[in-house]
Amino acid sequence: MKDAIKRAIPEPVIAWARGVQADVKLRRETLRQMKRFRRNYARRGCTGVEQMRTRIIYFTHQIEKGLSHSDFRYGFGKGVLAQLAPLLVQLRKSEPGYAGDGVYRSALSALHEYRQRHEVADYDLGYMRQLFPLDLWQEIGAADGTYGGDIVIRAVDKADNASLPFSALSEARHSIREFTDEPVSVDDIMAAVRVAMRTPSVCNRQPTRVHITTDRDLIGRLLAVQGGFRGYPTPPALVLLTADTWAFMNQDERNEGFTDAGLFGMSLLLSLEERQLAACPLNTMLPMQRDDQTRSLLHLPDNELLVMYVAVGHFPEESKTCMSRRFEAEQIVTVH
């Protein structure tokens, strides 16, 4: 009887009813996701150790970026230091094993390099000194300067990239933010995209879309909107990865495009590295207005979600980049 009724309902009616049900679920689940995020993220003023560590990593990264600029600017990062100092003081109070914490060590190492570079140049560090209590200031002075800060990348070291085993290629890849003036062709990038096409995706639905531009004026305008690449010369090429919502079938899949295009992004980064092309992934965490500006600059269709940029260029003979120290694997693994 029940089956007979089901068979009698025309497919458009079933599709409509399912659509209404999915819309209700989409709203409910998105709200739940929003609430979970709001309960947990590392907001300014947070007091949880993990959230404080997040903010310390973020500010350490800003210091590492400043240290690695070829056009080094003495006195950079005053606002960053002003946020980092109280976080470190607070972490020392809240985390008993702080001295062995890689996040703390990495921050101190970057601050050590910051301090040393300025002191060697006889630059007045009064603005920095006043932010730190004496014991922390002394610890920065005595810190291991090799645990954070910047590292040097040389183009010659990339010559054998095509024959490196995966682990070595992965170990040697770093984000490069300053490139030579040599152009990068769309063909060069296409060769890397073809390799990245082997990236798996949910049910093989392949939602990733790739937008490439080598138009410096357009790249400059896009990166001005992006905002996370300030102070660097315009790169010769820019790739935008998007996720096509047309590849998804119901509300449960709403975040899957970020996973699939994110995986594609990693394949692309390694594929570029293998071809001796330098690259830096760049976020597209844009507030609505800047999202709209980006969409209009690239004439993106409504169905595509911004996932990430990748700036691409050639390795300078020698350049500096952030050390970006990683956690130990044991720190992120839970065996159930």
Instruction: Mention every residue, 6+ apart, whose C-beta is less than 8 A from residue 242.
Output: 208, 209, 210, 211, 261, 300, 304, 305, 306, 307
Contact 257, 247 (CB under 8 A): yes
55 contacts ligand FMN (rule: CB under 6 A): no
| DSSP secondary structure letter of residue 248 | -
Among 280, 305, 306, 312, binds ligand FMN (CB under 6 A): 280
Binding letters toward ligand FMN, positions 83-122, x by CB under 6 A: ----------------------------------------
174 contacts ligand FMN (rule: CB under 6 A): yes
Interface region with ligand FMN, contact rule CB under 6 A, candidates 82-90, 100-108, 113-121, 174-182: 174-182
Query: In this chain, which residue has its C-beta nearest to ligand FMN?
Result: 228
81 contacts ligand FMN (rule: CB under 6 A): no
Interface region with ligand FMN, contact rule CB under 6 A, candidates 72-80, 84-92, 169-177, 210-218: 169-177
**Token match 């703390």: residue?**
104
Among 114, 132, 229, 248, binds ligand FMN (CB under 6 A): 229
Give residue 52's Cα distance to chain centre. Answer: 19
Nearer to ligand FMN, 139 or 325 (CB): 325
SS3 state at 310: strand
SS3 state at 165: coil
Cα separation of 269 and 280, whole Å? 8
For 311, list phi and psi in degrees, rounded to 5.
-80, 135
Nearer to ligand FMN, 87 or 240 (CB): 240
Interface region with ligand FMN, contact rule CB under 6 A, candidates 21-29, 96-104, 183-191, 274-282: 274-282
Cα separation of 72 and 329, whole Å? 33
Min CB(222)–ligand FMN separation in Å: 12
Min CB(174)–ligand FMN separation in Å: 4
68 contacts ligand FMN (rule: CB under 6 A): no
The structure tokens listed for 151 are 């590292």
Measured CA to CA in angstroms, residue 212 lies from 218, 272, 331 at distances of: 11, 14, 37
Q: Which of 157, 197, 191, 160 is nearest to 174 (CA)?
A: 157
Interface region with ligand FMN, contact rule CB under 6 A, candidates 87-95, 118-126, 170-178, 184-192: 170-178
324 contacts ligand FMN (rule: CB under 6 A): yes
Among 80, 103, 305, 308, binds ligand FMN (CB under 6 A): 308
Instruction: Mention every residue, 6+ apart, whose C-beta is less than 8 A from residue 115.
Output: 125, 128, 140, 141
Q: Which residues contact ligand FMN by CB under 6 A?
A: 61, 174-175, 177, 228-229, 280-283, 308, 321-322, 324
